[in-house]
Structure 1
């Protein structure tokens, strides 16, 4: 989508306003996951507008949104029909809780999500985001087993370096030590197993399928070690985000499903990022042919136009709550918010009208092929991912796969790449939770023109970045 009708504000006026906003942000706005000292001597990047696949800062500069905000803006920026859906619903019923009551937007959205989910996942518990949905899934798993005569089942298993959210329970499930240490002690009972990073496979590094079977079998080993009578659930992303977009090897999820069934352990598919077309299908578990017991989702449900999340739950898990006096003592003030639910419905209408799911499936190979052109650079070790969700791992030595040490990674990622990519016109993520990677997840409306622009900016910046170490 072009933005040729955009007229920047007069330079002097823009600069004055930019300076005012930057100073106010430094004094009052606590930015998330941000070193606040980073802006002691530099302006705070301030985004004021979005249109299609592009965002604009306060001084009128344009950037390709290579991360869809935060893996979220599936339908692109500036979709008036979504804003209008929010305004219409706010004019009718701006807020009412779903604590023992219901309203049409929540009812209709729950039905739509249940219809789209695989198997018997027919119950929807709304939250305001993915972390809350992960928290919901763990709490429900614990209570479900207490109600069904297995009260010791409370532990969960997740993967190394995986990110599952910031609430205390979700943070325990998260596998990033640096994100957790300062908040310990956390909720006990969360245990970690190897992820599916084939590029750095510790075993079967020459056979993807065997590596996948080995990685899945580590889940069974962990269940046995902890005691099957104590393990309630396994939390897995279809494509693991943190660490740089690790896809599942062939047969991985089928083996995990088999293991969970064997030991009566629930399989939770954390699709906070992967659902709603990011990998193509509405739910990513369909792409990899497995049916979980719960799906956690958020982000792309509204394309980011209003906050909402959900835990979609199987009939089996809901059954104990359908009779007698037992209930789930859990909820959120803004869960299933009527405005957010109405926006989600309009967003899913847009998906159907514009065929966004099929668009990703039609274009994913072109996105991969375009990014793989970067493999000719010595600093690029691996290009991996699926759909419109990719990570590019950066290495010090391509032949040996030697990574950068902490000081080099700091200088490369935060000292150069993050700013250089943004200055070059690309908003994306340079991250070192695990090995250094650049992550890309553009809006689903993107096509070859945007893929080429991403590759060209990355190429220029990475060539320069290689000289900084």
Structure 2
């Protein structure tokens, strides 16, 4: 019996049996899910034959693009030899050893060891336990609190969603869990005071960390976690003064600094990791997504030697782990993915070629009457939609205009994501100049279509 292949049949089965993530299932089922059937390079094809430019690299993860047979073959070969074995029971295997060694070479010099997970969410759950265990071993058991930021995204499990600062997520499931505190985000366009410069705003926002430490007590604060650029929070790129001040505070206050590189890692910002782009030196580095370019699920937590040495020399058993920690086929995918990135110079290409080219084209979109700002760093950027550029005001019912624009974008054959009324992109690192031109043209048409609809409704003039 063959499985149905028509779009209508597939949508009906999907609606009957599939609960989608981050979705209003009733609304989605009424509309019908988009069915993607194949992909190549930066292009997706749906069940109706439409070609769609993937401006989001799947979910920020397909860094080397679709259809890379090198990764497919590496996974196939590993599946044939050793499809699975765990890394419990005093056991290891070659793919995990080789990938751990490779990561120690690629990450900043303070890192020599990795704890493998299956995802960014699992990695950030691991961070909570690891940080608290570290201070227990150091006989500082009151250092439990982890400080994060509003609108940060660190995953969807109970622990990771608590670390994140997304109010809609916290509203479901009695989150955050105890011991996690959130401070202001470095979102200049949306939260700067009248007349405040980016430099002043960056310093003021960073000092929220210091004032929170003072209010709660330094002896109670274990760590500060942040993405170099807030991704799902709307591609929030901090002012230049922000990260040096954060680094000073963590260093002077005996606070571990955790850099969540799930989105920024593996070339997205024009360096291997976002912490290198911004000049910070984290104690813990969280990774996933781009480590395999999404071809297999895999995550990891890099632990700086000064932290790992305490855990190893004085900690005994670390009673934590996952069935798929260091899955051999996932490690094989990661190794093949890293081979591609290095042999093709993709990180350097983001820094010196594709990134600057996209930035120049993208920032020109700020001239559109609907756009308040068009920030871009490496191959990650945003468009802030506003009814009043000069006043930096927002539309009523925040998120409605962003959703409208996102839907126009899909109709125009471009995947962009909407966060509030902010459109965001993060295309594969392999995107060509011609494909960048096409991406920007489709984004501009999306802005024109959205402006036309808002004008028709009387929301803009």
TM range (shorter): over 0.9
- Do the aligned residues in 2 keep the contact of 1:64 with 1:425 (CA within 8 Å)? yes
- Aligned pair 1:259/2:249, yes or no? yes
**DSSP-derived class of the 2:427 partner:** coil
User: TM-score, normalised to structure 1's length?
Assistant: 0.93
Quote how far apart the aligned CAs of 1:191 are.
1.1
Quote how far apart the aligned CAs of 1:444 are.
0.3
Quickly say closer, same or farther: Cα 1:204–1:141, change in 2 above 3 A.
Answer: farther
Quote how far apart the aligned CAs of 1:201 are.
3.9
Aligned residue runs from structure 1 range 31-46, under 5 A: 31-46=20-35
Residues 128-153 of structure 1: CA deviation (Å, up to 9, x unaligned)? 01111111111111010010011000
Q: CA RMSD in A?
A: 1.8
Aligned residue runs from structure 1 range 216-365, under 5 A: 216-323=206-313, 326-362=316-352, 363-365=354-356
Quickly say closer, same or farther: Cα 1:323–1:376, change in 2 above 3 A.
Answer: closer
Quote how far apart the aligned CAs of 1:186 are.
3.5
2:395 is matched with 404
Quickly say closer, same or farther: Cα 1:40–1:251, change in 2 above 3 A.
Answer: closer
Name which of 384, 407, 429 aligns with 1:393. Answer: 384
Name which of 447, 450, 456 aligns with 1:462. Answer: 447
Residues 54-107 of structure 1: CA deviation (Å, up to 9, x unaligned)? 010112210001000010000000001100000000111110111131111111
Name which of 423, 447, 454 aligns with 2:432. Answer: 447
Residues 348-387 of structure 1: CA deviation (Å, up to 9, x unaligned)? 0001111100110012122111111211211111111311
Residues 390-432 of structure 1: CA deviation (Å, up to 9, x unaligned)? 11110122221111121x632x333x32322112110121221
Quickly say closer, same or farther: Cα 1:326–1:15, change in 2 above 3 A.
Answer: closer
Q: Distance in 1 between matches of 2:406 and 2:314?
A: 56
Q: Distance in 2 between matches of 1:257 and 1:327?
A: 31
Aligned residue runs from structure 1 range 2-401, under 5 A: 17-99=6-88, 100-203=90-193, 206-323=196-313, 326-362=316-352, 363-401=354-392
- Do the aligned residues in 2 keep the contact of 1:205 with 1:211 (CA within 8 Å)? no
Q: Distance in 2 between matches of 1:126 and 1:16?
A: 38
- Do the aligned residues in 1 keep the contact of 2:363 with 2:376 (CA within 8 Å)? no
Count, aligned residues: 451
- Do the aligned residues in 2 keep the contact of 1:244 with 1:392 (CA within 8 Å)? no
Q: Distance in 2 between matches of 1:322 and 1:369?
A: 48
Quickly say closer, same or farther: Cα 1:385–1:204, change in 2 above 3 A.
Answer: farther
Q: Distance in 2 between matches of 1:52 and 1:404?
A: 36
Quote how far apart the aligned CAs of 1:18 are.
1.3
Q: Distance in 2 between matches of 1:295 and 1:266?
A: 11
> Which deviates more, 419-428 or 34-43?
34-43
- Do the aligned residues in 1 keep the contact of 2:163 with 2:176 (CA within 8 Å)? no
Quote how far apart the aligned CAs of 1:16 are.
5.9
Q: Distance in 2 between matches of 1:224 and 1:33?
A: 36
- Do the aligned residues in 1 keep the contact of 2:371 with 2:383 (CA within 8 Å)? yes
Name which of 431, 434, 437 aligns with 2:422. Answer: 437
Q: Distance in 2 between matches of 1:270 and 1:325?
A: 24
User: TM-score, normalised to structure 2's length?
Assistant: 0.94
Residues 197-221 of structure 1: CA deviation (Å, up to 9, x unaligned)? 1213434854322322222111111
Q: Distance in 2 between matches of 1:116 and 1:104?
A: 18
2:414 is matched with 426
2:457 is matched with none
Unaligned runs of 5+ in 2: 455-461
- Do the aligned residues in 2 keep the contact of 1:159 with 1:193 (CA within 8 Å)? yes
Q: Distance in 1 between matches of 2:308 and 2:239?
A: 31
Quickly say closer, same or farther: Cα 1:205–1:358, change in 2 above 3 A.
Answer: farther
**DSSP-derived class of the 1:392 partner:** strand
